[in-house]
Structure 1
Amino acid sequence: MLEIKNLSVSFKDKNVLQGLNLEIEEGKILGILGKNGAGKTTFFESLYQGQKYSGEILWQSKKILRENISYLETENYFYPYITGREYLSYFSNDKLTKTIELAEKFQLPLEKYVQYYSSGMKKKLALIGMLMLDKLVNILDEPFNGVDFEGVHLLYDIIRELKQNNKLVIISSHIIETLFHTCDHIVTLENGIITNTFEKSDFESLNHFKFV
């Protein structure tokens, strides 16, 4: 279980996160909804141990370590003169065959330099690399941004497979429907505070929320 206890982050005079408390079990998918500036990225950076915070983030009752987590950021940087295949080979040669099969499903030109990839293709490449890490906790920050229709449905399948493998997944998205398709629970984050928690049976009530 992932336990987040009184998580707070402040920058100068601004409180970005204010006393967040969450418990998420393995094999569950949590969606985070919030406007730009609500604190989603700061929350993810804190989970990933890349941001100084107060409070506790525990995995299996111990302080979480970065080695337990994989993190797909909204924007991903790639060295331009590297091919997709070379990029993926850095993660794990043991899983490269299965990974190349996934890349083919995403229609990624692995022999091309990444500088010629579209933003959606870069997102898919980063996602495949993240999956190769095979971590217990997986953070997906706006994974559907820039991804085509077919890619979105492949993403649905990948997220479901993570769930079946008892992985914990946390997703943010401005597209509410994508969270409806994938999540067990959804929380709303407003001004650094979790204001609501929704179960699957209550998801339809989220349709009136505006998160732009």
Structure 2
Amino acid sequence: METILTLNNLTKKYGPLTAVDNLSFEIKKGNVYGILGPNGSGKSTTLGMVLNVVNKTSGDFHWFDGKDSTHEALKMVGAIIEHPNFYPYMTAVQNLALVCKIKGVNSSKIEEKLEVVGLLDRKNSKFRTFSLGMKQRLAIASALLNDPEILILDEPTNGLDPQGIHQIREIIRNIAATGTTILLASHLLDEVEKVCSHVVIIRKGVKLYSGRVDEMNASHGFFELKSNDISKLKEVLTHHPLIGKITEHDGLVTAILEEPMNAEVINSYLFEKGVALSYLVKRKESLEEQFLQLTNQTTN
């Protein structure tokens, strides 16, 4: 599969603050990628660097096969990394025609792109009459005018009402269905879960996870256990080869599984070791639980 973008130990420092810390990942053609993390985690800075609007401190990145300069490669990229900025007294068509002149692309596709974002019926309406959601959709149309290989969106649904959020997500899915690669930054797990095929999770500029969304919660689950002898329970669990991290809170022991195992097996094992359980439940971590566990972890 063709590689669209490659990051190698990309780092950005602002004085003593490291905004992006040795970030490495690849974007492959035809997928929808989400850079997911809390506000201030370095998502926008990362996008800024690969779009040549923020200077990197160290590391490297290259577009496509790396043979073209970043300036040339960016001609095949469509991006929205700031709030839509159009002339309020001009119509949608007039604004896009101006963008075509600036980008040096043919204006023949303006109506086609307006149709993609559901604004063809408002093509002659002035920008100042548009809602926030419509302004964002016009910005997406603008970014599509050069038929980019990849569309980059920074927090595309920020500030929108539920209807506006739904419309933008539908548009992203429809664009992806045509084969356009998409990279979006978001702090919303729900957004990434519904729209993206792949995710890169970052916190304080550090990559915590990179891979398919549906594999992020492919853990083997965990047991919740109680016993009259908590100390012995924890000790015996520690020696089981398939049990990983063990924690205790208010008498409830949580044992993370490193390999598949059912409740009957662990119950028999503990009974043989002289531990009688008063409570045993097997659970599966949700995607939300895994995300919170990743992004709330402390760095030593």
1:169 alignment partner, SS class? strand
1:177 matches 2:181: no
Alignment of 1:1-212 (within 5 A): 1=3, 2-53=5-56, 54-62=58-66, 64=70, 65-90=73-98, 91=100, 92-102=106-116, 105-106=118-119, 109-203=122-216, 205-208=286-289, 209=291
List gaps (5 residues or longer) in structure 1: none
Question: 1:130, CA displacement in angstroms?
Answer: 0.9
Question: 1:7, CA displacement in angstroms?
Answer: 0.4
Partners of 1:66 and 1:112 in 2: CA distance: 30
Taking only the aligned residue pairs, the percentage that are identical comes to: 27
2:190 alignment partner, SS class? helix
Partners of 2:140 and 2:126 in 1: CA distance: 17
Q: RMSD in angstroms over aligned alpha carbons? A: 2.4
Query: Contact 1:7 / 1:19 at 8 angstroms: preserved in 2?
Result: yes
Q: Number of matched residues?
A: 210
1:133 alignment partner, SS class? coil
Partners of 2:151 and 2:79 in 1: CA distance: 6
Partners of 1:19 and 1:192 in 2: CA distance: 8
Partners of 1:151 and 1:106 in 2: CA distance: 13
Question: 1:195, CA displacement in angstroms?
Answer: 1.0
Q: Relative contact order (C-alpha < 8 Å, sep 6+): which is higher?
A: 1
List gaps (5 residues or longer) in structure 2: 101-105, 218-285, 296-300
Query: Contact 1:74 / 1:142 at 8 angstroms: preserved in 2?
Result: no
Partners of 2:95 and 2:206 in 1: CA distance: 37
**Structure 1 stretch displaced more, 115-124 or 23-32:** 115-124
Q: Deviations over 1:133-154 (max 9, x none)?
A: 2111221111122445555444
Query: Contact 1:76 / 1:126 at 8 angstroms: preserved in 2?
Result: yes
Q: Specify whether residues 150 and 131 from structure 1 end up closer, same or farther in structure 2 by C-alpha distance, changes over 3 A only.
A: farther
Q: Deviations over 1:156-190 (max 9, x none)?
A: 44333443443321112233222112211112110
Q: Letter of the 1:28 partner, please give it.
A: N
Partners of 2:154 and 2:208 in 1: CA distance: 20
Query: Contact 1:74 / 1:143 at 8 angstroms: preserved in 2?
Result: no
Partners of 2:86 and 2:76 in 1: CA distance: 23
Query: Contact 2:33 / 2:199 at 8 angstroms: preserved in 1?
Result: yes
